[in-house]
């Protein structure tokens, strides 16, 4: 049973919804995957025929490790098994970006409320001082 929301800041429910989606991510793979079909150097090879029977697929997984580009080859089975983790990398970025926007909005709305309160107090002080001046 879900009780009343203890967090009264704006977009609390939306933020919690995003957090739940983030909690479902159980793997993230960085970098990008390119699937290539290639021709070799042999002039008599089937890859030179018309229509060509190209070699491959060669599945290249490229990522940056300590500032260096690293490329590894994956089997089709590996790609199929890990595709959700590659998809998760993009999903993670999107969810974090959304959560960031909503969190900033929540903080800014607090600031607006605070500055309104301060302005009221300041006005109050000025008004209370006025009769004496
Ligand atoms: Zn060939």
Q: 103 preceded by cis ω (within 30°)?
A: no
Tell me the CA–centroid distance for residue 46 and ligand 1, in Å: 6
CA-CA-CA-CA torsion for 81, 85, 86, 91, nearest 10 degrees? 140
| pLDDT tens-digit map of 63-113 | 999 999 999 999 999 999 999 999 999 999 999 999 999 999 999 988 777
Tell me the CA–centroid distance for residue 74 and ligand 1, in Å: 20
Task: Note the pLDDT of residue 110.
Answer: 80
Tell me the CA–centroid distance for residue 81 and ligand 1, in Å: 28
Tell me the CA–centroid distance for residue 24 and ligand 1, in Å: 44
Residue with tokens 């203890």: 6
What is the residue extent of each domain of the chain?
A: 29-112
| pLDDT tens-digit map of 48-68 | 999 999 999 999 999 999 999
Helix extents (H) in the chain: 12-23, 76-129
Task: Note the pLDDT of residue 21.
Answer: 97
Mean pLDDT, rounded, of the chain: 87
Among residues 125, 31, 29, the alpha carbon closest in space to that of 69 is found at 31
């Amino acid at each position: 049973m879900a009780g009343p929301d203890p967090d009264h800041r704006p977009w609390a429910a939306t933020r919690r919804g995003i957090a739940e989606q983030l909690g479902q991510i159980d793997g993230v793979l960085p970098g990008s995957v390119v699937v290539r079909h290639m021709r070799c150097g042999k002039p008599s090879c089937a890859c030179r025929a018309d229509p060509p029977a190209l070699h491959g697929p060669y599945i290249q997984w490229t990522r940056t490790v300590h500032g260096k580009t690293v490329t590894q080859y994956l089997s089709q089975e590996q790609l199929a098994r890990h595709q959700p983790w590659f998809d998760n990398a993009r999903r993670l970025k999107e969810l974090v970006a959304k959560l960031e926007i909503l969190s900033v909005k929540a903080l800014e709305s607090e600031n607006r409320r605070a500055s309104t309160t301060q302005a009221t107090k300041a006005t109050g002080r000025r008004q209370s001082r006025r009769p004496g001046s």
